[in-house]
Structure 1
């Protein structure tokens, strides 16, 4: 937990009301999202009991499994879920656009939009991941066949669950994580996983949150008291009232999901949210092509090389996402300013026409002086960037202590054009307020991984040769 978030939590506890920890929205909210509230039977491994779903607040659809332990009913539920979810997911695989790649030397195509699925909490996302794993390998012929839509649903759910692990992705989102990214409450992180309580902290305050805690859970697990005194008799007696009871149980969470989306939509999107959604559209387009060309299910587990490559992608995405959030939001950047790796100041001197001719050819290298009253923990030789000019690098020439703070002398490169005269506005002018940080959005090249056949036998490669007998 960062210092800023810890302070906001303390203020929320004192005020009895959630406090904002973001000035902009850090995720894409779709105009037509698919809301899915799964409910599982307690004590059974990933046994679906019900699901409330749809794309319209006033028209929820309820799917119910009257006997969750019955295999046929469980796969009938999967087929019903596929009948609603898969058409939504594939409805965006229509109009496409050309995107320039390789500095304009080539083009690729992606769909102009992509789907977005919302679940209440991380338990809901885990349910979809496990349900995808249990359905994507099912056979449509032979013994115990299932409808063809069932393994297709499993592959889509596995795709969404994998995308949700990528920091910054917005293809599968949880309401509690999305709200927690923008508001801090006065309760614990575990309590924040209750959507009703978290939303009440934001909308009304701590008193309403205590009332919400006594209300229905957001799934996928049910309340033990409900299981023992309400659900168990209904299932045992195959009571036709079961759908009505489950509808009343899930409806408050359904309404809270849409109120959460309205709260998030009210925030202005961050500048870099659109670029992350572009990446999601790329991911979605690539998977649609995979289904059309091959359609093979995802493997049960990654090989050593594939796992290492995925881990690196996740690490790079996490670092990039943290930088983008800080560049978009002053409240997020404040944490880095407290740590001394970012500081704000005023340009007091500027030499925009300075040219460095010490090398083989002359290059434009303007210098500026930035005066700051904040703590500066960077040394000469460090490279800084500014969110206002992310393509420009600022090399620290010197840091001088003053009576009021520090004077930082910087040499600029990049983002000024290709001539020996800087383009207008590309060099900060005297009097301009500037934020500088060691954070950077610069591209991080991927590591080189060996072919799986070239790894040791312990990592999936060929077995080591046996020693010759002599």
Structure 2
């Protein structure tokens, strides 16, 4: 937690109301997202209890699984809703021409977006997807095929949720926490009701703190999922589960306890359903950052490629990644995190202010511009490398050679050449390394004027996929060699033991 974030939390705790930490919304929000509120039974991690799902705030679809027996009907109904939402995103497409090493692609103009209340629901959907996508499929049973397809898409969406900047599967508490700071702990911010109470308290309450305290008192009477409250289990669910078990054991009709269970869960899940749409309205009201459009384009590309994979191959994703696949996934996640942080800093002055407190950015006034500075390139030709001097009062934690970016000149790149410390301001000499054109065709638009105040942030490293070995060249301890390769590890151990005995 940065110094600025800590200060905002302290001020929010003092005033009793949440404070904004961002001027812009940094994730794309669909006009018709699919809301999903899921509950699971206490016990088996992936056994669902109920789901409230839909894209209409006034007409949610409630799906309830029986306390015992098959959950296939409930999962099939959930699969129909989720797959219908995904199919709706495949109605229109656009043509992307070939570029560099990228082949041409027919990309969908939309991508699915599912909003859930908290990160715990994301984990529950991941576990559920791992279970469903490996289920056997009966070619004559459409429900079993749709359930396995649901498992495939839940795995895809939960994997996308691990990527910073992705908007395919969004936990609303983390989304809200990205834009507001409350006076409670980050762990308490995972409760959607108390978080919204801090951010947008009802009119009849004195402050967000008072509204959050009232929301905490009503915790047993609402369900945010995926786990249920122990008091709710003991006082309400357990009697209905027992009544259903007795009816099933005695061969009697089980529709009555199931109907009572459905009415109970509808009443308890409805408040959280309304809170999810309340959170969506607050986030939708924020102006969208420019970088979110580019990230949503990447989301549509990833969705299109997943649809192509499902149509051409269709095999379930492995339960565990092999070593090379895990290394690639880690590299992609690291690059996504760096790119997301850089784009947030370029878009949002609040983010730049926070980075200045951590030393990852500095702001200052341009005092001099050397527009005629050139260097000799490797071939001896002159290269135009204009320089500028910036005077700053920020504490610098950077060294010469550090690459920088500036929010005012996004196509330009900068490098620190020299830092001169003094008792007052610090002078930083910068060289423009990208975006300035050529010596015979210079781009003067990247040159700031003397007296301009600019903020420079650390530029992310260029994305380069590391050279990784093929599976045939991977050690057996990390998933290789191929399965038909003889394993002599036991012989080596026996030889070692014999040598020790001698």
Instruction: Please give the range of the TM-score, normalised by the shorter of the 2 chains.
Output: over 0.9
Matched, 1:395 2:415: yes
Aligned counterpart for 1:163 among listed residues 160, 163, 168: 160
Aligned counterpart for 2:286 among listed residues 253, 267, 288: 267
8 Å contact from structure 2 (residues 118, 171) kept in 1:
yes
In structure 2, distance between residues paired with 1:445 and 1:340 = 26
8 Å contact from structure 1 (residues 350, 430) kept in 2:
yes
* Equivalent residue, structure 2, for 1:379: 399
* Corresponding residue SS for 2:446: coil
8 Å contact from structure 2 (residues 26, 292) kept in 1:
yes
* Equivalent residue, structure 2, for 1:334: 353
In structure 2, distance between residues paired with 1:384 and 1:164 = 29
Q: Could you tell me how far 1:327 is from its partner in structure 2?
A: 2.1
* Equivalent residue, structure 1, for 2:430: 410
8 Å contact from structure 1 (residues 324, 441) kept in 2:
no
8 Å contact from structure 1 (residues 49, 66) kept in 2:
yes
**What's the Cα RMSD here?**
2.2
In structure 1, distance between residues paired with 2:119 and 2:359 = 34
Residues 200, 76 of structure 1: CA spacing in aligned structure 2 closer, same or farther, 3 A cutoff?
A: same
Matched, 1:362 2:379: no
8 Å contact from structure 1 (residues 353, 422) kept in 2:
no
* Equivalent residue, structure 2, for 1:117: 114
Residues 381, 45 of structure 1: CA spacing in aligned structure 2 closer, same or farther, 3 A cutoff?
A: closer
* Corresponding residue SS for 1:197: helix
* Structure 2: runs of 5+ lacking an equivalent: 202-207, 245-256, 496-502
Within 5 Å, give how 1:74-223 maps onto structure 2. Answer: 74-103=71-100, 107-141=104-138, 147-204=144-201, 205-215=208-218, 216-223=222-229
In structure 1, distance between residues paired with 2:211 and 2:176 = 17
Matched, 1:325 2:344: yes
* Equivalent residue, structure 1, for 2:6: 6
In structure 1, distance between residues paired with 2:425 and 2:476 = 59
8 Å contact from structure 1 (residues 33, 115) kept in 2:
yes
Please list the CA deviations of residues 236-275 of structure 1 after superposition, one character each: whole Å capped at 9, or x if unmatched. Answer: 2242222111111010011100110111111111221111
Greater Cα shift, 150-159 or 351-360: 351-360
* Corresponding residue SS for 2:445: coil
Greater Cα shift, 156-165 or 229-238: 229-238
* Corresponding residue SS for 1:385: strand
The structure whose residues are more often helix, as a share, is: 2
Residues 23, 228 of structure 1: CA spacing in aligned structure 2 closer, same or farther, 3 A cutoff?
A: same
* Corresponding residue SS for 1:98: strand
Aligned residues: 465
In structure 2, distance between residues paired with 1:83 and 1:358 = 61
* Corresponding residue SS for 1:159: helix
Q: Could you tell me how far 1:103 is from its partner in structure 2?
A: 4.0
In structure 2, distance between residues paired with 1:58 and 1:210 = 27
In structure 1, distance between residues paired with 2:215 and 2:102 = 57
Greater Cα shift, 305-314 or 156-165: 305-314
Within 5 Å, give how 1:289-308 maps onto structure 2. Answer: 289-308=308-327
* Corresponding residue SS for 1:391: coil
Q: Could you tell me how far 1:43 is from its partner in structure 2?
A: 2.6
* Structure 1: runs of 5+ lacking an equivalent: none
Q: Could you tell me how far 1:105 is from its partner in structure 2?
A: 8.1
Aligned counterpart for 1:436 among listed residues 456, 460, 464: 456
In structure 2, distance between residues paired with 1:452 and 1:49 = 41
* Corresponding residue SS for 1:368: strand
8 Å contact from structure 1 (residues 16, 206) kept in 2:
yes
Q: Could you tell me how far 1:143 is from its partner in structure 2?
A: 13
Residues 83, 106 of structure 1: CA spacing in aligned structure 2 closer, same or farther, 3 A cutoff?
A: closer
* Equivalent residue, structure 2, for 1:230: 236
* Equivalent residue, structure 2, for 1:449: 468
Q: Could you tell me how far 1:34 is from its partner in structure 2?
A: 0.1
Greater Cα shift, 175-184 or 331-340: 331-340
Q: Could you tell me how far 1:104 is from its partner in structure 2?
A: 8.9
Aligned counterpart for 2:442 among listed residues 406, 417, 422: 422
* Equivalent residue, structure 2, for 1:34: 34
Greater Cα shift, 40-49 or 289-298: 40-49
In structure 2, distance between residues paired with 1:124 and 1:105 = 36
Greater Cα shift, 46-55 or 387-396: 387-396
* Equivalent residue, structure 1, for 2:263: 244
In structure 1, distance between residues paired with 2:103 and 2:75 = 41
8 Å contact from structure 1 (residues 390, 440) kept in 2:
no
In structure 2, distance between residues paired with 1:33 and 1:18 = 26
* Corresponding residue SS for 1:38: strand
In structure 2, distance between residues paired with 1:376 and 1:325 = 21
8 Å contact from structure 1 (residues 138, 146) kept in 2:
no
